[in-house]
Amino acid sequence: MNQEDIFASIGESTEDTEFFTSLPPGYRPGQCKFVIVVGTVMSGLGKGIFSSSLARILQDKGLAVAPIKLEGYLNRDSGTLNPYRHGEVFVLDDGMECDMDLGTYERMLNQNLTRLNFTTSGQIFSRVLEKERKGEYLGRDVQMIPHVTGEVKYHLRQLAVETKTDVVFVEIGGTAGDVENAYYLEAVRELAFEEGPSSCCFVALTYVVEPPSLGEQKSKPAQLNIKQLMAVGIMPHIIACRATKPVTRKVLEKLAMYSNVPIDRVFSMHDVETVYLIPEALREDGIDETVLETLDLKAKKNAQVEAQSRARWSDYLTRYRAASSPVTIGITGKYTSLRDSYASIIQALEHAGTHHGIKVEIVWIDSTELTDQNVAERLKGVDGVIIPGGFGVRGVDGKIACVKYARENGLPYLGLCYGFQIAVIEFARNMCGLGGAGSTEIDANTPHPVIDILPEQRELASLGGNMRLGGQDIAVASDSMISKMYGGAESVRLRFRHRYEVAPQYIKQLESAGMLFCGRSPDQRIMQILELSTNDHPYFVATQAHAELTSRPLRPDPMFLGLVAAAKSFADSKDGQSKKGERVTAD
C-alpha cells in the first residue's frame, strides 16, 4: 500500500482498515513538514531552547514555522502547577496557561502563539472521550492506537492548517522511556509513516555526562537512551549533545557509531552565556542545511530574507557582547531558589540591558527572610528592585517592607502583578493612614480591603472563571510617564493572570495621596498600571499585568527599559558606594 492508498483509507471507520486517522478540514497530505525534538537521558536539557533556535534559523530563510509543545501530564493546562516543580507559568494572549517553553518560542520567533501551540495528555484524553460519547467512533472500541494517537496527529495537522505553516516544530516533553509520553512517540512515528519520505526530521537531544571523579566525558547514558528511542521505531536524523563544555570529537564519533547518524549530524550544544547565541551556533554547524535537505525544502530558501534577518539578530548580539556599566537589580520573591520561576523576567532584563548597553546583574532576595529590620542591609547593594507575580500569604510582609524601603529611599521599583497589589497595600498603610490595609486574599477580615475581588467577579466564583487571563487592552493617561515610555500610545496591550483588583472605593483616596493610576481598563473600572510622580520618586512603576511576557530581544518591554535606565542613574548617583549580595548574570 502506497502513501495515496494510506490517505485514501484515513478517516474511514470500518473493520476493513486499520488506517483510522481523521484529518482536519482543509488538510492536504504532504502540505507541511515536521521537525520532532525528543529528549533522552534526562529532562530539563533545553529542548525548547534548541527547538526554538532551530525554528528561528528556518524562519530566517523565509519559511513559515509553528511550534507546539506536547506535555505528558494529565492537567488540562499549566495553571495549577507549582513553580518549584515546573518553573513559571507562561500565559498566551488568548489566555492559555502553558509551559515556560512557549515563552522561549515567542521570544525567539517574535510571534504570538495560541492554545493550538500547546497541548497536554489531559487535553488529548478529554477530546477522545468527548468524541466517544458523541458516537464519533461509530461503535469501535476506543484504544490508544489508533484513536489516542490519531487525536495527537489530528492536532498537529490542525495546527499546520490554521497557521498555514511550512514546518511544524514538535517538542515532546520529558524523555524517551517515560510512560506518559510513550503514545506521543508512537503518534509521531505513525505521522512519519503516513506522510511519507522527506516529511519528518527527528532530532534527539541528549546529555553527555562528565563525572567529576573521572574528569572526562562519558557517552554511555546517551548511547543507551538513543537506542531506547530507536527501539520504538524512531531513527534520529540529528543528535544534539548537551554538555557544560564542548563535547569532544571522541564522544561525537561514539554516538554516531551507535546511532547510525552521520558524524556531521551529531553536534555539541554546550552552555553559552545567552540562549540567543544558539541560532548562530546551529547555523555554523550546518544544522539548518541538514534539516532542509532531510525535508526537501532547499528550494524554499530566500537568501534576501535570511540576510536581513541575520543582520538584525547579529546587531542584537553585538550590543549584548558590548554591554558594560553593570547595574544590579534585586528580585524579591518566594521562589528565588528556582530561577526558572522567573525565566521571563530574567529574559526581559537582558533585553532591556542590551538595548541600553548595560550588563544587568541579578540579586535574588527571598521575601520570606525580609523584615523591616534587615531590609536596608539586604537592599544596600542593589540599584533597582522588582517584586514579581505570586499568590498566597507567604512572604507578603517581606515584600511590603521592600516596597516601603524602595519608595522612601528613591530606589527604582517595578511591581509586576502581585508586586502591583503590594505597592497599593504599602501606600495605603503608610501614605493614606489606612492602618491594617490589605488584600482579602491575604486576610479576609482586613479593616481596609484595598485589594479585593470586584463584585461582578464574585458572581463567577462558582464557575471557577473569575481569574483574568491573557491579553487585555489598557487605556493609558496621556500626561503620564508610562505614556511617554510607550511612545505616546493611548492604548497598550499586556497579558494578565490574576484575580484580585484595586477596590474602587479606595481609588480617590489613593490618588489624592499621590498615586497615579495611569493605566486602566477601557471602561475605567479596573486599575492596571500605577506610577508615582517623578517629583516624589525617580522611578516607581507597577502593573497588574505581566509585562515580562511580551518582552522580546528586538522589542524590549518599555517598563523594563525604564527600570534599567533608572537603575543606571541610581548607580551613578551612589558615587561608587559598595554593592553587596549574591549576583547572577541574567541569561
- Say what the pTM is: 0.91
CB 356, CB 565: distance < 8 Å: yes
Give the gyration radius of the chain's Cα atoms: 26
HSE-up of 477 (CA within 13 Å, CB side)? Answer: 15
Does 382 score more than 70 pLDDT? yes
Is residue 548 among the annotated active site residues? yes
Task: Decide if domain 324-585 falls under CATH 1.20.120.160.
Answer: no
Is the separation of the CB atoms in 58 and 291 below 8 Å? yes
Mean pLDDT in residue range 367-386: 94
Give the domain ranges of the chain: 32-314, 324-585
Note the pLDDT tens digit of each residue in 155-197. 999 999 999 999 999 999 988 888 999 999 999 999 999 999 9
Across all residues in the chain, what is the average pLDDT? 90
The tens digit of pLDDT for each residue in 312-352 reads 999 999 999 999 889 999 999 876 666 778 999 999 999 99
CA–CA dist 192, 33 (Å, integer)? 10
pLDDT of residue 60: 96
Range from 4-18, 180-194, 506-520 carrying the lowest mean pLDDT? 4-18
| CATH H-level, domain 32-314: superfamily | P-loop containing nucleotide triphosphate hydrolases (3.40.50.300)
Helix (H) and strand (E) counts for the chain? 20, 22
pLDDT score of 393: 75
Question: Could you tell me what percent of the chain has a pLDDT over 70?
Answer: 91
In 186-287, beta strands by DSSP E: 200-207, 238-243, 266-270
378 with 370: CB under 8 angstroms? yes
Mean pLDDT across 487-497: 95
Per-residue pLDDT at 579: 40
CA atoms within 13 A on the CB side of 494: 29
Q: For residue 212, give the amino acid letter.
A: P
**How sure is the predictor about 423, in pLDDT bands with cuts at 50, 70 and 90?**
very high
Q: Report how far apart, in Å, the C-alpha atoms of 120 and of each of 22, 49, 95, 388 are.
A: 19, 19, 16, 27
Query: Confidence class of residue 139 from pLDDT cuts 50, 70 and 90?
Result: confident
User: What is the number of other CB atoms lying within 10 angstroms of the CB of residue 314?
Assistant: 11
Q: Which residue among the candidates 155, 498, 537, 546 is catalytic per the annotation?
A: 546
Q: Give every CB contact of residue 564 below 8 A, 6+ residues apart in sequence.
A: 327, 329, 349, 352, 353, 356, 358, 360, 384
What are the helix (H) ranges across 416-574?
Answer: 418-431, 455-458, 481-485, 507-512, 558-573
Cβ atoms of 292 and 252 within 8 Å: the answer is no
- Rounded-to-5 percentages of helix, strand, coil across the chain: 40, 20, 35
Q: Are strands 97-98 and 90-91 parallel, antiparallel or unpaired?
A: antiparallel
What is the C-alpha to C-alpha distance for residues 253 and 555, in angstroms, rounded to an integer? 41
Tell me which residue has cell 516544530.
169
Q: Is the pLDDT of residue 385 over 90?
A: yes
Asked if pLDDT for residue 203 goes beyond 90, the answer is yes
Catalytic residue among 200, 417, 432, 518, which? 417
Q: What pLDDT was estimated at residue 198?
A: 95
- Which residue in 199, 194, 233 sits closest to 9, CA to CA? 194
Residue 210 CB: number of other CB atoms within 10 A?
Answer: 16
Integer Cα distance of 574 and 22 in angstroms: 66
Please, which residues have CB within 8 angstroms of residue 513's CB and are 6 or more apart in sequence?
Answer: 427, 431, 432
Q: Active site residue: 71, 88, 501, 548, which one? A: 548
Cα 585 to Cα 48: distance, rounded to the nearest angstrom = 21
Q: Does 32-314 match 324-585 in CATH topology?
A: yes
Q: Are 356 and 383 in contact (CB under 8 A)?
A: no
